[in-house]
Amino acid sequence: MFRQVPVLPVVVPLAAVVLAVLLRVLRRRDRWGAPRVAVAVALSVYAAGVVANTVFPVYLDKPRADVPWSEYLVLDPSTGYEVTDAVTNVLVFVPLGALLALVLTRPSWPRVVAAVTAASLTIEVTQYVTAHLLGGGHVADVHDLLFDVAGGALGLGLLLLAARVPGLAGFVDRFRWQRVEVPAH
């Protein structure tokens, strides 16, 4: 049996650090309030969950096969990819697109998509490095990146759609970290 890096001692402090940073940002922006704190908590738990499910397992003593780095990397988007994996990646990144749209100072399609892309790329690079150096259980795959970004964009689109629904617009605005300009009548 191989010894694994335990997940909880890594992701719980990660969530705590992310939460502390987000709460500090809220204080600095003078936007403190229960709905926005809830967004900070959700984003912290989300980050910890994604790391737990995309980076782990990481092994301390798993013998590595002497294989080239390319064995842990899929860069050709024309290779086969399971539909269930695609749907899962989209669904997992929908919350990130919506949460980033709430947190960013000036959210826009390019900013949110860039942030989601950076998050997904960070995960894929981490998977690549841990797979080769630490016997991690994942392969870096361009398909994951593409479907993660699609999920983030979908999350942003759903949030923007909800913000246009008259009964939901005010509700969504209570969770936004940026100040929303209300036109004078």
Residues 95-128 pLDDT 10s: 999 999 999 988 899 999 999 999 999 999 999 9
d(CA 2, CA 91): 32
The answer to whether position 29 is within a domain reads yes
Residue 182 lies in a domain: no
Q: How many domains does the chain have?
A: 1
Residue 14 lies in a domain: yes
d(Cα 81, Cα 36) in Å, to the nearest integer?
Answer: 37
Report yes or no: 134 and 58 within 8 Å, Cβ to Cβ: yes
Tell me, yes or no, whether 183 lies in a domain: no
Domain assignment of residue 26, given as a range: 8-175
Helix/strand/coil percent split, the chain, to 5: 70, 5, 30
Furthest CA-CA distance within the chain: 70
In a domain? residue 140: yes
pTM of the complete model: 0.88
Instruction: Indicate whether 3 belongs to any domain.
Output: no
pLDDT 10s digits, 66-101: 777 777 878 888 888 899 999 999 999 999 999 999
